[in-house]
């Protein structure tokens, strides 16, 4: 089986799974802008989406992010289309939906199952913004946060399904979107995060 992962910043959350699949004999590809590490037997295909020109600062402030997300989506789709022409189309795709990377994947590979990794849906209250009494976002901030979700909603609509690591992260998404998102914990690397038998604490 050929499994493709899509993440803008290297392997990200997919590193352990990619390593496991590669060691088990699966063909594994990472489609990314930057490489954060190398995993044996995993093919890395890099792409680059250049930001487009913005006519004035006001438009750039509001539309710069979704515009760049669309450009990223186009580059990833072109990458998968090139892989398809070379006979390297994956059997399944799992990708982060936060930056537009998965927006057009199903348009070039409509028969390939694609799952979106749903990490964080921006909210003006109750998450990383607006969680404290003295942290009240103004209307401009609210607009920008809403626009940051555009790529996620378009991507999730096109995906065959989505996964979130925790119930809380899933709960940030709109109700209709939550119905398409399963909770799948990422696990804990107990070889790295483990108790130290020699540790002590004096009270």
User: Residue 130: what pLDDT?
Assistant: 64
- Residue 201 in domain: no
pLDDT above 70 for 42: yes
- H/E element holding 123? none
- Residue 190 in domain: no
- Residue 30 in domain: yes
- Residue 189 in domain: no
User: Residue 55: what pLDDT?
Assistant: 58
19-43 mean pLDDT: 96
CATH (domain of 39): 3.40.50.2000
159-183 mean pLDDT: 97
User: Residue 61: what pLDDT?
Assistant: 64
Can you give the residue range of the structural domain that contains 162? 2-183
For residue 183, give Cα distances in angstroms to 30, 164, 168, 179. Answer: 23, 5, 9, 11
User: Residue 57: what pLDDT?
Assistant: 63
pTM of this prediction? 0.89
Rounded to the nearest 10 degrees, the angle between the axes of helix 139-148 and helix 57-85 is: 10
User: Residue 56: what pLDDT?
Assistant: 61
- Residue 155 in domain: yes
**What whole-number distance in Å separates Cα of residue 67 and Cα of residue 54?**
9
Question: Greater confidence, 129 or 97?
Answer: 97
Per residue in 92-109, pLDDT tens?
Answer: 999 999 999 999 999 999
Question: Greater confidence, 114 or 147?
Answer: 114
- Tokens 């990377």 locate to 101
**What whole-number distance in Å separates Cα of residue 118 and Cα of residue 86?**
30
- Residue 203 in domain: no
Domain count, the chain: 1
- Residue 29 in domain: yes
What percent of the chain shows pLDDT beyond 70? 92
| Region for 126 from its dihedrals, namely left if φ exceeds 0, alpha if ψ lies in -120 to 50, beta otherwise | left
């Amino acid at each position: 089986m050929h499994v493709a992962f899509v993440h803008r910043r290297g392997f990200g959350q997919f590193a352990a799974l990619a390593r496991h699949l590669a060691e088990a004999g699966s063909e594994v590809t990472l489609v990314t802008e930057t490489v954060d590490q190398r995993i044996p037997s995993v093919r890395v295909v890099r792409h680059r989406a250049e930001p487009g020109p913005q006519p004035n600062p006001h438009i750039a402030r509001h539309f710069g992010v979704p515009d760049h997300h669309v450009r990223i989506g186009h580059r990833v789709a072109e990458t998968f289309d090139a892989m398809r022409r070379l006979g390297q189309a994956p059997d399944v795709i799992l990708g982060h939906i936060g930056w537009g990377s998965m927006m057009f994947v199903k348009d070039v590979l409509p028969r390939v199952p694609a799952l979106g990794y749903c990490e964080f849906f921006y909210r003006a209250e109750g998450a990383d913004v607006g969680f404290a009494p003295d942290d009240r976002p103004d209307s401009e901030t609210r607009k920008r946060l809403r626009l940051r979700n555009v790529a996620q909603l378009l991507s999730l609509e096109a995906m065959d399904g989505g996964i979130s690591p925790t119930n809380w992260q899933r709960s940030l998404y709109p109700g209709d979107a939550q119905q398409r998102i399963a909770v799948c914990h990422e696990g804990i690397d107990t070889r790295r995060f483990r108790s130290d038998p020699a540790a002590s604490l004096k009270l």
